[in-house]
Structure 1
């Protein structure tokens, strides 16, 4: 019988087992072991994708956990640690002759043996394999072919962001300009878009959408995620869910209102004032550095009148608990002590029990969040939007 599991498939590593940087912009506390503990014990997420597992020292840490009997490699793919399954992933930056600009893609592999082979191959096409999201020297299609040769999963990352997103930067109109469309297993939407926005592009209708955190700190794990029907969390089951095989599927996406994303609106990069899409000079400060927002870019690409493809799972607006006004560290700790995990607090704990632990107004905000009723002020140009306490 299939069961429901929560999954966040885009989490970075800040430091490796030897305290050397992996994702330079990520928190030092974001080690592999800390990520596993946070997901299992605090977040309540059962499936995660760590996308810096191509780094040899990250692989060493995984092997150490296995040797100490703290983790187990699964026959269906993935690494089991306590209540969470880790999928071995890699985020790669591609900028070949067919790309308009650099794009990020996510690759996942079933086993340590296969990602080790991938890392060995990458060393001939990448200058520094120990770091995250490094430039790959080759074509996007060659990368796809290698991933599929190693029985992997290939997903374009945060596809609409103006920096290093497939549609935001990499192509003029179609993903087929740079990718083999048949070898794409899913589409990661990114923080500034949702299902309704993405389905305005007809060529995306055939793909499963993912909503992931792109976490650069422990706190950001699970800021976006999905609920998946699977037999159990594993590589094979995740692949089947992406392709809706034998009842496996993503049943709900949970993500921030796109207006909270850093790149939702078109703004001046210098002063962050909103500007019209048809202007080349900011009327406020005179700067020519205009960052085109995700909303406006999707309007340019739109070629489908539907709001949501038939059969597409619901996309529910939620935010991390830390985004809620007046929910500070002490209040968060009280909630955790009372209800164990963030998934319990966000999804399962009734209003009556919440207000026994936290102020009534804050308890009501959590209930409003469950129903997508939070008031939002939009972000843009690299600045996040925010939740307000006004309806």
Structure 2
């Protein structure tokens, strides 16, 4: 592949060939090779992105599309958004983390009940086996940096409806806005919001523990106070995933500061406020609408935030 592209540019190979040709190369190596289109809805360099030119898997991979059995949903979409497309009913929806950011590993994951092997995990994904592929852990998609439409330079952030009302042109500078993930899903969806296919693999929306602690304390993620609280929590309750997903509310309150325990519980219940991301700008998420009585966190959400309640 080094002959036809740059494998060392920024940790992501940049190849000068189309997707169908890449599939031909990969699938002729071994029957165990797998291609999973990553961050499937991001505007640039993704299979369904507004800049990519593909509306279906078949358009992208041609005769090799029958071998594509999964897509990775990316930060700016979650499975529920993808469930609106009937063409994805037989496609497994997986979630992964960026390997180039070690501190963010695990913010999106797939959870399996299989042996720890390549073949076992990909078999579970390929067959959408709910007893083996249990669920995914997701970013709140509104926090992703391409969820809404907009133009960052002009601080224009729009819903798909607003973008269409402005003919996709920025109301400040007149240039085209970046069409985000929600808009693109709306364009390709053939179902209404809230539809859930019978074969859907469940998901849970989460915020990394360090970010919950940081907001509960009104401090930055990298501060000493947040890091000490994080390591103390993990030492007491074993792992971050156990804390976020499994530990009971009573156990959380017994082991952690009340503001941290309350923050985790609110995130589990989907009671967060988010100013959605747009045009490369990450969304701003708030757990506490007012300062927690046991912390010094600053409150006030601002008028641009909207309240989200999401079932887990």
Report the TM-score range of the alignment, normalised by the length of the smaller protein: 0.7 to 0.9
Question: In 1, distance between residues paired with 2:91 and 2:83?
Answer: 10
Question: In 2, distance between residues paired with 1:131 and 1:224?
Answer: 21
How is 1:269-284 mapped onto 2 (pairs within 5 angstroms)? 269-275=152-158, 276-278=162-164, 279=166, 280-283=168-171
Question: In 2, distance between residues paired with 1:134 and 1:222?
Answer: 22
- Quick check: 1:270–1:287 contact (8 Å CA) kept in 2? no
- Structure 2, unaligned runs of 5 or more: 218-225, 290-306, 308-312
More strand by share: 1
SS in 1 for 2:112: strand
- Structure 1, unaligned runs of 5 or more: 1-121
- Quick check: 1:270–1:289 contact (8 Å CA) kept in 2? no
Provide the TM-score with structure 2 as the length reference: 0.78
Deviation track 1:107-165 (CA, whole Å, cap 9, x = no partner) reads xxxxxxxxxxxxxxx12322445752222122312211222223311100101011212
1:293 maps to which of 172, 175, 180: 180
Question: Is structure 2 residue 102 aligned with structure 1 residue 218?
Answer: yes
Partner of 2:67: 183
Partner of 2:238: 340
Provide the TM-score with structure 1 as the length reference: 0.63
2:82 maps to which of 188, 191, 198: 198
Deviation at 1:296? 0.8
Question: Which 4+ residue blocks in structure 1 deviate beyond 3 angstroms?
Answer: 127-131, 245-249
Question: Is structure 2 residue 25 aligned with structure 1 residue 143?
Answer: no
SS in 2 for 1:192: coil
Question: In 2, distance between residues paired with 1:291 and 1:203?
Answer: 25
More helix by share: 2
Partner of 1:165: 46
Question: In 2, distance between residues paired with 1:354 and 1:246?
Answer: 32
Question: In 1, distance between residues paired with 2:24 and 2:44?
Answer: 25
Partner of 1:310: 198
Q: How many residues are paired up?
A: 268
Partner of 1:257: 140
Deviation at 1:342? 0.9
How is 1:85-124 mapped onto 2 (pairs within 5 angstroms)? 122-124=1-3
Tell me the C-alpha RMSD between the 2 structures: 2.2
SS in 2 for 1:292: coil
SS in 2 for 1:291: coil
